[in-house]
Amino acid sequence: MSGVQRFEDLVAWQKARELCRCVYETTRTGPLARDFGLAAQMQRAAVSVMSNVAEGFERHRRQEFHQFLSVAKSSCAEVRSHLYVALDTGYLAPGQFESMNSLAQEVARLVGALRASVQRRIDSDKEY
């Protein structure tokens, strides 16, 4: 994180943005677009992922950033859970589900790795 000056530079945020775009595109077309409740939940959860990464970064305190990354990772799990609902109801084709779920898993891994890095920095600060 030492060379990162803006949240937009974080790969985790960039991929979360991609996931958010994908969720919005998917929830605006086909049968999922008519299920306003599920579509809105998916959109809110996807927005939450990228927003929490950004907000946590801008707090400029490692402990707070770590907490916001935890929320972002949880929101990513929420997106994945909603994807299963969309698959099980026939709103998503299996291939579409796999593609989106794979992206959501990648985002979760990136956010998790960033959170672990922040935790290591928190732990190293305590050693002094």
Per-residue pLDDT tens digits for 16-57: 999 999 999 999 999 999 999 999 999 999 999 999 999 999
Any idea of the CA torsion for 99, 9, 71, 95, to the nearest 10 degrees? 0
Q: Specify whether the CB–CB gap between 84 and 67 falls below 8 A.
A: no
pTM of the model: 0.93
d(CA 121, CA 93): 42
CATH of domain 9-126: 1.20.1440.60
Residue count of the chain? 128
Write down the pLDDT at residue 128.
Answer: 55
Handedness of CA 115, 118, 119, 120 (dihedral sign): positive
Long-range CB contacts (within 8 A, 24+) of 14-17? 15/103, 15/106, 15/107, 15/110, 16/46, 16/49, 16/50, 16/53, 16/72, 16/76, 16/107, 16/110, 16/111, 17/50
Distance of CA 55 to the CA centre of its chain: 13
- Alpha-helical segments (H) within the chain: 11-27, 36-58, 62-88, 94-126
Instruction: Decide if pLDDT at 2 tops 80.
Output: no
The predicted model gives 68-93 an average pLDDT of 98
- Mean pLDDT, rounded, of the chain: 95
The predicted model gives 2-29 an average pLDDT of 95
- The one-letter amino acid at 10: L
Domain boundary assignment for the chain: 9-126
